Amino acid sequence: MEKTINGKKYIIEAGATLEGATLEKANLAEANLEGANLRGATLEKANLAEANLRGANLRETNLAEATLEGANLRGANLRGANLRETNLRGANLAEANLRGANLAEANLEGANLEGAKTTLCTVNFTGNEYEQAKQFIKGLR
């Protein structure tokens, strides 16, 4: 599917190469971006609700304040990604690489973090429920 975002045309499909793209505030809800390369892209405040990002390369991507509610991020590479204040409610982050990701004030309620990989992850659960914090830690085992 071809989509015009911020005046530029992009091909939005599985395996797409969108490295370094500026997709700020883009509406990509339910998009199929399985295996896509979005390394270093700007997706700040973008809507990726229910999107399929399974196995996508989101390394060093800016997803601050984005909506990824119910998104499939299984096995995605989010190493060094900025997920500050991102809505990840109900997202599937199983086996995702979250090493060095910034998850400060992210909403992880109901997210699947089973097998997620992280070592230097910045997490701030201020204002979030204690159960959410426990789920996050349990998912890192």
Q: State pLDDT tens for residues 68-123.
A: 999 999 999 999 999 999 999 999 999 999 999 999 899 999 999 988 888 644 45
First to last CA, the chain: 38
Residue 10 confidence (pLDDT): 81
Q: Evaluate if residue 135 carries a pLDDT over 90.
A: no
Mean pLDDT calculated for residue range 16-21: 93
Quick one: residue 9, left, alpha or beta (phi over 0 = left, psi -120 to 50 = alpha)?
beta
Residue 133 in tokens: 């914090």
Q: What is the total count of domains within the chain?
A: 1
Q: Which domain holds residue 86?
A: 1-141
Residues 43-58: tens digit of each pLDDT: 999 999 999 999 999 9
Q: pLDDT: is 124 or 55 the higher one?
A: 55
Query: Residue 139 above 70 pLDDT?
Result: no
Against a cut of 0.85, is the pTM above it? no
pLDDT at 29: 94
Residue 134, C-beta contacts closer than 8 angstroms, at least 6 positions apart: none
CATH classification at residue 112: 2.160.20.80
